[in-house]
Chains A and B, each alone.
Chain A
């Protein structure tokens, strides 16, 4: 009998406790993350996950957001559409998150857009393609932090115009990133009076681009733009050096990983490309508003993970801080967060963001810095 009474008391005690708990402590703010942590795009997802976890820890150590703890639900999409769709549904319907950051890739981002649009949960993508946020009237709940391809093209063409070069050759990888860049290069050429005299491609598995480069040389191009995000892009400068093909080489922002420079070796010196300032923090001028943020993030990341900081972790940094600022201002109602995001400004790693109802990216071409490679390091181009 005593035992029964004890059990009864114990059970009712726990029931009362669990019923009271939510009222005793403020509820956690739940934010979902979709990163391709494993699989072929793990070099995007891993720094993103590391960054998100680092920020959440900092926030919670400092007492959370208005007394609420920040809880991240991190899902691995493996860069796969079906997994990304499932994970998004899980975040929204099971974990009941109030906002989602990620996915890391353009394809997976496009796959989850119909879901977040229908479920009305704000999503801040960490992927490149511009179609993710355009047309904006069909992307009410979707935002993104990486810089735009078209702005990258404009910066390259600006630089070419300043140098007085009109005849250019382009070479691109046959991936989503490469294809999108090739389209933009061709579309914007007219506006700048550029003359594309050669248009070559290579597949991600290619190991030699001599054939394409000889064609470009014969076409009389005065400069070459190489647009790709796969490691094969590092072979282009190498082959150019072997051919003694000595025209200025421009790369896209997809070159923004120090590993590509290492792969190209001494041939990388002198390459020019528009990139985020995170790559060359030390040579960014001190009066730049981003400098403090960049330095703080880079030092914290590199000290903690003993690894070089990358642009991709920076995209997650910007996305998560946008959400945190929204949570601080309006709490965890998804609709209010969305409305707040549309009016947000943020000095981030990718640039100075200024979102508006017609611009869900918030960046312009000034988000890019023209970067060159000197002795295997990224430095700001001075001329």
Chain B
């Protein structure tokens, strides 16, 4: 990890600590809790997309595996939530290996296809295996989490807890990138043949990183279940997988920080739009909920057109340009 990343984590943590004091309202804090679940999944996904150059269109299924393991084991079998989370992780790892080993040995985007199918299968199982998963009626009364007898039962407490987890996840991810494996992965992303010829076991690295990204999602899914206290198949469909990929792409695929920014931004955006709609309606103009989709789409389009490297890189470039402009001006003045 470079100095920049350490500084980044410190700044990020400070912002996280200060935010609840500024926004105050529990409702907004609740939205940031949901943003944290997306953030955790996206950090894992960005390792896969940005560094191994592979796309997963089934990450919501890993969220589902985590969520359903936690829900089933705690509600139906009375396990401790922490043990259930660990079992969820183990299940996610097994699933990732089953899909990853055959598809990541091949060159090209076979993983995308395999995960697309896998995502559909998991979704169908959650809908159709009524006796096991509760089917479309879902599972309710999932217990809240406890840390050493200290219950995490309010939005603010959950906010603090989940963002600590995210920062730890971020720390791990940044460390992976700056390790031997990270360099190997970047080499694979650049050119698989070149990486292979310089002694990197390409498929093993790709499988490893896919498994790690599945773990991130499984953990996010488990915590989602314990926060909402109710799950049904809805949030674990294909559309959510696509949304996660979009978040990573919007933030910037080639940096983990991009995934952090993209996921927070796209999680909060619907809320910003609803605030805008209230303001617009305050002026007596009718605002239809369908407009949200339009605005959402045009924002994504604008980012893809004008900031192809994602927001993180785009903003960084903008700053650099400003800096250059500024230094040139001052130097000419002198």
Contact = CB atoms under 8 A, between A and B. Distances in A.
Contacts of A174: 127-128
A131 B128 CA distance: 19
15 contacts: A80-B234, A81-B232, A81-B234, A81-B235, A82-B34, A82-B228, A86-B34, A93-B26, A110-B137, A110-B140, A111-B228, A111-B232, A114-B229, A131-B140, A179-B136
Please give me the 9 A-B residue pairs with the lowest Cβ-Cβ distance, nearest first: A176-B136, A93-B27, A114-B229, A89-B27, A76-B289, A107-B232, A89-B30, A93-B26, A111-B230
Interface of B: 25-27, 30-31, 34, 127-128, 130, 135-138, 140-141, 155, 228-232, 234-235, 270-271, 289-290
Nearest to B155: A89
Given A37-B289, A38-B289, A81 B228 contact: yes
Contacts of B26: 89, 93
A200 to B, nearest CB: 14
A206 to B, nearest CB: 14
Is the contact region of chain A dominated by helix, strand, or loop, or is it mixed?
helix
Given A76-B289, A81-B230, 19 more contacts: A80-B234, A82-B34, A86-B30, A86-B34, A89-B27, A89-B30, A90-B27, A92-B27, A93-B26, A107-B138, A107-B234, A110-B232, A114-B228, A114-B230, A138-B141, A176-B136, A176-B137, A176-B232, A179-B137
A107 B229 contact: no
Contacts of A81: 228, 230-232, 234-235
B10 to A, nearest CB: 30
Contacts of B289: 37-38, 76
Interface string A306-340: 00000000000000000000000000000000000
A94 interface: yes
A1 B31 CA distance: 47
A175 interface: yes
Contacts of A94: 25, 27
A94 B24 CA distance: 11
Nearest to A129: B137
B25 A180 contact: no
Interface in A75-110: 76, 79-83, 85-86, 89-90, 92-94, 106-107, 110
Nearest to A177: B136
